[in-house]
Amino acid sequence: MNQIIIHVDMDAFYASVEVRDDPALKGRPLIIGSLPQERGVVATCSYEARAFGVHSAMNIKEAYRLCPQGVYMHPNFEKYRAVSNRLHAIWNEYASAAETVALDEAYLDVTERAGTWENACEIARIIKRRTREELGLTCSIGVAYSKTAAKTASEENKPDGYFEIATPEDFVKLISDRDVRVIYTVGEKTALKLHKNGIRTVRDVRENAGEVIRLLGKQGEWISRIANGEDERRVTVYRPEDAKSISRELTFQQDVDDRELLEDVLLLLSISVERRAARVGLYGEGVTLKVTFSDMKSVTRSRIIPSARDAGTIWREAVSLLAQVPVRPIRLIGAGIYRLTNEYARQLRLEDILPDAPPAEPGVMHALRMLNRRYGLDFEANLERIFHGETLYKTVEYMRRHKGK
């Protein structure tokens, strides 16, 4: 039997969770991300906001220009992650393999569990019903013979949609007269290149496969196969260690050139990275620093070290990397770890071999106590709350204003 794959995609996930938890938001254009007076972008928005032209990744100022009557909120990632865990627990019950794409999206291989196409479609309907009944949320589902077709199917009738694509022939018939952007991996630049060469639709791709391959090389080969309904990729179980990096970054509401403040913010970001890594039992073998200057130019610095997961190590290395960055106003700063592994290889320290050696340099808790004195905030007592997205931004903004006095 060929593959049977279900693609599940939540409808405006963050916004839907907020509407579920606050019914007063229902029917209103809800924009989640930065606030209108802040720097930043839209993380997601409700369908009511999309009707005004607002979309994910849009600059928040442009979103406000299009929809000044909207409700603007910071995201609550801890809440969304908790809801996501419950969602995936439901979905995974029905799959022999589940590939997590995001908090709100997954591919499910139900070939063995279902046995037949009819059973697979029934599983998809059960998933929709349980998602609504147990979490009060809607999802859109596609059932298909391949990953690409399943993804396409789930987008057909959003929101709260359901669609089936049983065969490659059905897939080709559905998309032949659509723009090439419908093909997986074809983005704006690739589409523009194809359009300039007279290849606008999927049918054009099929009829001009040689030209597509000439223009795009290996990507052109892939696009041509998809245009003919060919996609043999398997659902791959996501493993946290397959991630390339774990990082956290923050955009300042006004540019910052105070090195002490930047180092203090790196401490908070490093603690956040440590917590994210600990949740999935991973360590890094390198530390990264990302900086975006006021002119929007970005630089990244990195360094390989024996092991990087504890916040103190991440912070010290990030601060050292910051010292290599030119002194000028900074708009965004981020810290992270890469070369992830689940094997811990702590570097041998002096106190490991000489019990009477002086203690190592001050740890994270000592550094937090210094922040307490510097800013008049109780970082230790409020550490759990600080790493919620909105609280972290408010905390850093308070620190920035306090330093200016």
274 and 292 part of one domain? yes
User: Is residue 357's pLDDT more than 50?
Assistant: no
73 and 100 part of one domain? yes
189 and 262 part of one domain? no
Rounded to an integer, the average pLDDT of 47-51 is: 96
193 and 128 part of one domain? no
**CATH number of the domain residue 202 falls in:** 1.10.150.20
User: Is residue 348's pLDDT more than 60?
Assistant: no
pLDDT tens digits for range 329-346: 999 999 999 888 876 544
65 and 118 part of one domain? yes
**CATH number of the domain residue 373 falls in:** 3.30.1490.100
- Residue 332 maps to a domain: yes
Q: Which of 163, 183, 205 is the last residue of a domain?
A: 163
Q: Is 317 a catalytic residue?
A: no
pLDDT tens digits for range 138-179: 999 999 999 999 999 999 999 999 999 999 999 999 999 999
72 and 196 part of one domain? no
Q: Which of 125, 144, 163 is the last residue of a domain?
A: 163
- Residue 235 maps to a domain: no
User: Is residue 301's pLDDT more than 50?
Assistant: yes
Active-site residue (options: 18, 48, 99, 105) = 105
140 and 205 part of one domain? no
107 and 133 part of one domain? yes
92 and 198 part of one domain? no
Tell me the pTM: 0.76
The mean pLDDT of the chain is 89
- Residue 257 maps to a domain: yes
- Residue 199 maps to a domain: yes
Show the domain range for 382: 240-403
Q: Which of 163, 194, 216 is the last residue of a domain?
A: 163
Rounded to an integer, the average pLDDT of 7-26 is: 96
- Residue 188 maps to a domain: yes
Q: What is the pLDDT of residue 68?
A: 97
pLDDT tens digits for range 65-117: 999 999 999 988 889 989 999 999 999 999 999 999 889 999 999 999 999 99
Backbone angles phi, psi at 381, to 5 degrees: -70, -30
52 and 184 part of one domain? no
- Residue 232 maps to a domain: no
Segment of 124-128, 346-350, 356-360 carrying the highest mean pLDDT: 124-128
219 and 304 part of one domain? no
**CATH number of the domain residue 124 falls in:** 3.30.70.270
144 and 87 part of one domain? yes
What is the number of domains present in the chain? 3
